[in-house]
Amino acid sequence: MKIILTQEVTGLGAAGDVVDVKDGYARNYLVPRGFAIRWTKGGEKDVAQIRRARKIHEIATIEQANEVKAKLEAVKVRLAVRSGDAGRLFGSVTPADIASAIKAAGGPDVDKRRVELGSPIKTLGGHQVSVRLHPEVAAKLGVEVVAA
């Protein structure tokens, strides 16, 4: 089945890409979650609009990505969350939480889909997080999780 991606899907493509995937994957996962729309001849207009929007929000060059990387790595991110007695969190820290904490700490605006967690953050303390800014540039960021 041909679909048009409306946002970036890891391992599949970026917003505005027309890709061919299995019917069940598109019908049961991508379309219901809003990651894609079905491809039609009229949908080509949507592709152009999605690509224009992507260019506006995208970091275009490696130099820009390196500048943002330097700003990100200079920011000290501290995230206060509810936790139990043993230092375990009630739930976990999400990429959206980290993106909003970066902005609150005075860092650049980061899309939550760019934040990559190696494993779920479920304990207090320091954790390493990667932020993919460009296909060739990723910033390593230290996040300190403290009890609220």
pTM value is 0.66
Q: How far is CA 34 from the centre of its chain?
A: 15
pLDDT tens for each residue of 102-116: 999 988 888 888 899
* Count of helix runs (H) and strand runs (E) in the chain: 4, 9
| Domains of the chain with CATH codes | 2-57 (3.40.5.10), 62-147 (3.10.430.100)
Residue type, 21: V
Determine the 3-state secondary structure of 97 from DSSP. helix
Measured distance CA(51)–CA(16) in Å, rounded: 5
pLDDT at residue 126, as a whole number: 93
pLDDT tens for each residue of 43-95: 777 777 777 776 666 666 778 888 888 888 889 999 999 998 888 898 899 99
